């Protein structure tokens, strides 16, 4: 019974360590600007590129040109705003790190409590 508790507690601590490490790495990548760009942004950029190519090939009036350029500017702003790191994402990543730290702290305390309850003979291997 005690071996099962030690195994469960050790696994919980290991999971907490991995979660904290992953959360910290995600936060660092985000802070360094290495966060992956979403598929939505890539699609918008491709659309802008295709529309720009079509615009150059088409013979359109000045008024149509102004309207068309306005749409392209809007799409470009949208793509850039979607790609820019948002404060909401940053807050979420910091929250994940805090939660992972709390989980690790609890798991470590559980491990310490369990090991302090067992006798030294139970810690011997073999």
Arithmetic mean of pLDDT over the chain: 77
Low-confidence ranges of the chain (pLDDT < 50): 126
pTM above 0.75, yes or no: no
How confident is the model at residue 84, as a pLDDT? 62
How confident is the model at residue 126, as a pLDDT? 44
| Cα gap 108→126, rounded to integer Å | 25
How confident is the model at residue 96, as a pLDDT? 93
How confident is the model at residue 46, as a pLDDT? 74
Q: What is the 3-state secondary structure (H, E, C) of 55-123?
A: HHHCCCCHHHHHHHHHHHHHHHHHHHHHHCCCHHHHHHHHHHHHHHHHHHHHHHHHHHHHHHHCCHHHH
């Amino acid at each position: 019974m005690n071996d099962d508790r030690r195994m469960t507690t050790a696994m919980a601590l290991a999971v907490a360590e991995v979660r904290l490490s992953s959360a910290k790495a995600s936060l660092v990548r985000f802070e360094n600007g290495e966060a992956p760009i979403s598929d939505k942004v890539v699609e918008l950029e491709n659309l802008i590129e295709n529309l720009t190519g079509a615009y150059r090939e088409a013979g359109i009036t000045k008024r149509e040109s102004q309207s068309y350029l306005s749409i392209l500017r809007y799409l470009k702003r949208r793509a850039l705003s979607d790609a820019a790191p948002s404060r909401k994402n940053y807050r979420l990543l910091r929250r994940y790190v805090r939660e992972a730290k709390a989980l690790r702290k609890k798991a470590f305390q559980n491990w310490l409590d369990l090991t302090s309850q067992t006798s030294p003979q139970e810690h011997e291997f073999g």
